[in-house]
Amino acid sequence: MFYTRRRPFGHWTEDLSHDNDKADFGTPPDGVPIFSPVMWLCKFIKAADKPPNLTGAPCLLSTAFQFSLTFSISPSMQPRGTRGGPFRGAPAGGGRRGAPQEGPALVGRGPSAGQGILQSGSTSLTPAHVLATGVKRPGFGTAGTRTRVVVNALEMTVPDRMIYHYDATVDKTFPPRLNVQLIKALQHDTAPQIFNPAGAYDGRKNLFMPQRLNLGAGDSRVFDVILPANGQPSDRPPTVYRVKISFAAEISTTPLLRFSQGKQTQDEEVLTAFTALNVIIRADPIMNHPFNVRSFFPINGDRHAAGYGFELVRGYFQSVRPAIGKILVNVDISTGLFFKPGLLFEVAFDFFNVPGDRRDPSMFSSRAGFDARRRRDLQRFLTGVRVSVAPSNRVIVISRLSDVGANEFSFSLREGGGRTTVAEYFRQQQNQPLQYPSVLCVMTSRGSAIPFEKCTVLPGQIARKQIPPELTEQMMNFSRKRPEERMDSIRHGIQLLAYGQSEYIRNFGLHINTGPFLETDSRTLNPPQLRYGQGSSQPTVVPRFGAWNMMDKKLFKPINIERWVVVVFESPAKVNQARVRGMIKDYINACRSVGVSVTEQDPIVRYGNSQGDISTEIKAAGQDCVKKNSQKGGPDLVIVILPDHGNSEIYRAVKYFGDCVMGVATQCLKAIAGKVDRIMVKTDDGELGTPPNFEAQSSVVPPFFFEFKDLLNPPSPGWPSLQRRAAIICTTTGIRD
């Protein structure tokens, strides 16, 4: 059923120095394909995110019953690029006629026969002259059991009208948050007589207006905009921003309406109209809440202190999508990673995970052992963070940290000349002696130095950084909700959106029905029968509600591990030889439990340098294996024991080496885990044998199969239930016995 890579395409005796930091995802020398299952699935999604020729596939899936689907894909289907997309995902506008990165896709079951969209006996959902993006869908599915489901979508009424697109260009590059404030001030304070009624702005470049603006000759005009005062006295004149508004295009909603009715092919005009509608429904939330490209996050919403200087915040996603004969607004929950607000000292303590009883602000002094490495780590974390400075509450953006404390950082005085230190300045000029004068200062881009103790991190700041690996599990747990809880949260989000009160939605004549969610028919497919290998307690199993387990069962076609190696990227003091040998014994027993035989009982164990070149370290272990086994060959499997923290880069390097350089199976284990008796269910499908075999569901050749796994480890003494999302696996080569 799954492709099993048994013969490496790399050579263990070759020099890897020329391969460092090079990624070649082409075809290996002997033609063995090396695309991972997830890569194939991504290719399939790009090709089939609009309804392809799916035999027996439902229009919508009930999440409570969905299991796995066997899609019968027409061999003639070709990838269609990046336009279109699944039901989820908001388009991100760009450019003058910015089409969304993920455009609309038809969803929903649509009207029943006799309502005009699909008459009884029809062989296609759309007329012959309408081109499909992908392959035309011949009709609705018939397999499985019809199930009535509630969809987290609201119906939108769109009038047949013109929308006017303008380029909004600020004289300097500012974050979207400030751009939104500038356009709001322009429309409501600077030139309300021109921008009445107000238009919708996306925070970057695109401004959509319900009427044509009178901008004078050339349909372009530059405005001087001053932001409203924040109520704080200042001896500086207000900043004047120059904003240029230029006409770009007229957008008609007619093509969009015809497309949703199945009368027109999706084209650039349809995509641009959807972009405009998405900007309109987002205009009000982004004026009042922190936001990113796809979601907004209520300031007083659910939040969770995640540690490492971050907090997780519940947000809401919304997107305009076409359905059969309707325009829908899809609403869902999302999760954002934010900087933890509060005193800068407390945020810094949290970043370093300092316990509460050991939080001494003096630790951020070089005299107290705060070395250059830790200073660089904290600087990298704080760069770009906005803080308010006491007592004036002036807001600054942190650019870097000083090398020395406030009592050593000196600067020239503006009046009277001479030099003084930051600590002395606050004592003499401000009459505010510092409590921790030896602690570092934060620096602005203009070179101003502000003591740590005067700074407070402002709330509502999205951390536009990669999620730290240590927070991945917390992120998943915070995002995961039971279906009924998720729907309740979505309903709460719709109340916050208050579509009926949005001036932008009213200005464009839109109406969103916020009554009960839509209901539609779905089909629950009958799960395929699973066949296990010889010696299993149950040779065949029919999963219930999409769940099954490997207890007392064997792989359908297990293989034999003749030679293997273990590479440990942790110090011997933390993971000694005895512990490694215990893990090896547990792994061998785990292999036997699923029918995998292991010839070599004492594999090579090598301690590697986690700061060095990972490929070279694994290669050296493989060469030791070749020597040990009298040149019979390299290892069939590489087990890598990762350090407890900071292992994401090592993991990626291991997988790149195994999948792209050498063509050998790899399995990463955490040193902290200590137990590997259930690791076999997490081993890459196809690496150590064929997993439970699924019976074919269609006679179309070749079928396309994909499966999503959400593994649940049963509890054991000292180990609570742990839920892990493992992988999405798929095959395009057919289901084999």
Q: Work out whether the CA dihedral 487, 489, 490, 494 comes out positive or negative.
A: positive
Name which residue leads in pLDDT, 294 or 351. Answer: 351
d(CA 618, CA 604): 11
d(CA 221, CA 706): 54
d(CA 187, CA 182): 9
d(CA 710, CA 712): 7
pLDDT tens digit sequence for 122-161? 445 678 888 887 777 788 888 889 999 999 999 999 999 9
Across-strand partners of 511?
A: 157
One-letter amino acid at 539 equals P
Name which residue leads in pLDDT, 280 or 56. Answer: 280
Q: What would the two tokens of residue 111 be? A: 């009207």
d(CA 457, CA 386): 6
Q: What is the pLDDT of residue 624?
A: 93
Q: Does residue 302 contact residue 336 with C-beta atoms inside 8 Å?
A: no
Q: What is the pLDDT of residue 82?
A: 35
pLDDT at 317 over 50: yes
Which pLDDT band holds residue 489 (cuts at 50, 70, 90)?
A: very high
Which pLDDT band holds residue 707 (cuts at 50, 70, 90)?
A: low
d(CA 665, CA 683): 9
d(CA 254, CA 269): 9
Q: Does residue 460 contact residue 338 with C-beta atoms inside 8 Å?
A: yes
Query: What's CA 600's distance to the chain center, in Å?
Result: 41
For residues 450-458, give the mean pLDDT.
96
Q: Where are the alpha helices (DSSP H) in 319-451?
A: 344-351, 372-382, 422-428
Region of 219 on the Ramachandran plot (φ > 0 left; ψ -120 to 50 alpha; else beta) = left
For residues 333-351, give the mean pLDDT.
96
Which pLDDT band holds residue 559 (cuts at 50, 70, 90)?
A: confident
Other beta carbons within 10 angstroms of residue 283's beta carbon come to 26
d(CA 707, CA 730): 6
Q: Does residue 402 contact residue 443 with C-beta atoms inside 8 Å?
A: yes
Taking the chain, what is the end-to-end CA distance rounded to the nearest angstrom?
A: 7
Q: What is the pLDDT of residue 705?
A: 58
User: Which one, of 638, 561, 562, lies nearest residue 606 by Cα?
Assistant: 638
Q: What is the DSSP string of 464-487?
A: -SPPPGGGHHHHHHHH---HHHHH
Q: What is the pLDDT of residue 645?
A: 67
| Domains of the chain, start order | 17-38+527-731 (3.40.50.2300), 342-457 (2.170.260.10)
Other beta carbons within 10 angstroms of residue 396's beta carbon come to 18
- The HSE-up count of residue 429 (CA atoms within 13 Å, CB side) is 12
pLDDT tens digit sequence for 403-453? 999 999 999 887 777 889 999 999 987 788 999 999 999 999 999 999 999
Q: What would the two tokens of residue 129 be? A: 């002259």
d(CA 402, CA 206): 39
pLDDT at 84 over 60: no
Residue count of the chain, please give it. 737
Task: Give the burial class of 565: count Cβ atoms within 10 A of its Cβ; 0-12 exposed, 13-18 middle, 19 or more buried.
Answer: buried
SS3 at position 404:
strand
Q: What is the pLDDT of residue 553?
A: 86
Across-strand partners of 719?
A: 716
User: Which one, of 397, 404, 393, 387, lies nearest residue 444 by Cα?
Assistant: 397
Other beta carbons within 10 angstroms of residue 367's beta carbon come to 12
Which 8-state DSSP code applies to residue 696?
Answer: P
pLDDT tens digit sequence for 472-485? 889 999 999 999 99
pLDDT at 79 over 90: no
User: Which one, of 542, 544, 548, lies nearest residue 530 by Cα?
Assistant: 542
Which 8-state DSSP code applies to residue 228?
Answer: P
The least confident of 103-107, 392-396, 579-583, 656-660 is: 103-107
User: Which one, of 299, 331, 334, 305, lies nearest residue 318 by Cα?
Assistant: 331
Q: Does residue 71 contact residue 63 with C-beta atoms inside 8 Å?
A: no
One-letter amino acid at 490 equals I
Q: What is the pLDDT of residue 702?
A: 54
Name which residue leads in pLDDT, 206 or 80. Answer: 206
User: Which one, of 601, 610, 604, lies nearest residue 574 by Cα?
Assistant: 610
Q: What is the chain's mean pLDDT, rounded?
A: 79
d(CA 288, CA 497): 11
For residues 661-673, give the mean pLDDT.
82
pLDDT at 191 over 60: yes
pLDDT at 514 over 80: yes
One-letter amino acid at 519 equals E
User: Which one, of 604, 603, 602, 621, lies nearest residue 612 by Cα?
Assistant: 621
Q: Does residue 688 contact residue 591 with C-beta atoms inside 8 Å?
A: yes
Q: Where are the alpha helices (DSSP H) in 289-419?
A: 344-351, 372-382
